[in-house]
Chains A and B, each alone.
Chain A
């Protein structure tokens, strides 16, 4: 495959068109659990980035030696290796954030987006495309985490990356740093994302019709 699409396109699709959170709705567990502040969201995004790129690289490199019958367990072992590296690195470098993220660092193993990319992409493509795909997907994941974390921190605490925005009189939206706020914000972001996509498609269709040019685009 991949004769018609360049490696660049494989990377760029994860940011918006096939965004793992807003389009595929994968990886909801870290998405909802650790996005109560922007910094937690960014660190979680970086950790996922490292794990996904590393394991996509290994899975794609070893794909002809991985027996089909036990492939899932082998993917998990590869992912778990990188998660362990991230776990101990964070413990050494950022102990406070490691404490806040808690069980959700080891739980990256169970992030369905990561396993999904191994099964659906890395095991079928060569190393270059697999890594580009992993970079795009985890960047898209990070963007989504960051958006959710920013909204929740700004409304829930009145701060952004710990910097106070509204002064002492701010009335915090308590619900936003609690789990219901995560669901609420994610739902509203999905709503906004779908609305925007719909609007863009309608606009493109209208342009295509008015200029009577056959409309050919990657967008479906």
Chain B
């Protein structure tokens, strides 16, 4: 900036203040915050998890590259947002999913979730969740067949269903199990909070370990990369609402405790890494509270009364759709203006 030596008059056009925060820098924070959860995914689900993550990232980045103008490609790829979308999508997939579906999901995430809206910053819905919603609607059986979490000894045991040919079904070798949320909904069984906290349960590869997700979320909060109001509102609303439902209905039914609600399923992953997506969440502080309360309420409502055991995906997507409206009605008034 100041390379003119001792200028008598410095002429500059706005913006005169430059922020250090650029898109790649913001993305880097999220990558770092996702490292613990990714490590946990590899620990519990082995090479299958690694393959799924790599494939969905490849699908996302390739699609971004194909559908971006030639002269913008270098920037579009190097801000790493497409890769991040692929990683987030990969973390929400079940471990036994055929790889071609993961690739298709990454490609749909970017193609239908981002590029078609005009690229980064103009999309209405979170791209990774849109990709997951597409996969869930398209392959409902494959997307809800969960393998059990393994230990480090089983790291090299790959699900044979991962290697299904494109368009073909996966051949599942291991016995499929239910996720903690499925057990709660259909069998009325609770899972020990300890294993929910560590992540030693069935589920999507990146959602099981609450501890490592919390570590990543804490990092983002300390770095102020995400608005603290959204997670706060989601946690408060979800736990309060599930506590009320538990008190009304009694403990022996399929109404889980607040802690179970927070630590099971994709609630933590969705809260820290998807609901807080700066593009698809409200801009105003009051809007963030409304947004978070809406997600917290919807996720418990869908889990308790919906057809699926997990509701985080649709809770966030629904509130994404409401974001422009929230932004419009929570605009702060200009100082001095009447009503």
Contacts and interface: CB of A to CB of B under 8 A. Distances in A.
A171 B140 contact: no
B169 A169 contact: yes
A170 B168 CA distance: 4
Interface in B126-185: 134, 137-140, 142, 164, 167-170
Contacts of A175: 134, 137-138
A159 to B, nearest CB: 13
Contacts of B139: 171, 173-174
B138 A166 contact: no
A174 B138 contact: yes
B138 A170 contact: no
Interface residues of A, number: 13
Nearest to A176: B138
Contacts of A170: 167-169
B98 to A, nearest CB: 8
A180 interface: yes
Nearest to A188: B112
Contacts of B168: 166, 169-171
Interface in A154-180: 158, 166, 169-171, 173-176, 178, 180
Contacts of A173: 138-139
B167 A166 contact: yes
Nearest to A191: B116
Contacts of B134: 175
A173 B169 CA distance: 11
B135 to A, nearest CB: 9
Interface string A182-202: 001000000100000000000
A90 B139 CA distance: 35
Contacts of B98: 171
A171 B137 contact: no
Interface in B79-113: 98, 101, 112
B157 to A, nearest CB: 23
Contacts of B101: 171
A170 B138 CA distance: 13
B169 A174 contact: no
A170 B140 CA distance: 14
B30 to A, nearest CB: 29
Interface in B191-248: none
Contacts of A184: 112
Interface in A90-104: none
A199 B217 CA distance: 46
Given A169-B168, A169-B169, A171-B168, A180 B137 contact: yes
Nearest to B100: A171
A178 B116 CA distance: 22
Contacts of B140: 174
A48 B134 CA distance: 32
Nearest to B140: A174
Contacts of A191: 116
A178 B139 CA distance: 12
Nearest to A158: B167
Interface in B288-333: none
A98 B170 CA distance: 37
A174 B167 contact: no
Nearest to B137: A175
Contact of B142 (A158, A171, A178, A180): A171
A203 to B, nearest CB: 17
Contacts of A176: 138
A166 B139 CA distance: 16
A118 B103 CA distance: 48
A171 B166 CA distance: 9
A10 to B, nearest CB: 35
B179 to A, nearest CB: 20
Interface of A: 158, 166, 169-171, 173-176, 178, 180, 184, 191
5 contacts: A166-B167, A170-B169, A171-B170, A175-B134, A180-B137
Given A169-B169, A173-B139, 17 more contacts: A158-B167, A166-B168, A170-B167, A171-B98, A171-B101, A171-B139, A171-B142, A171-B164, A171-B167, A171-B168, A171-B169, A171-B170, A174-B139, A175-B134, A175-B137, A175-B138, A178-B137
Closest 7 CB pairs of A and B: A175-B137, A175-B138, A171-B169, A169-B168, A173-B138, A169-B169, A174-B140
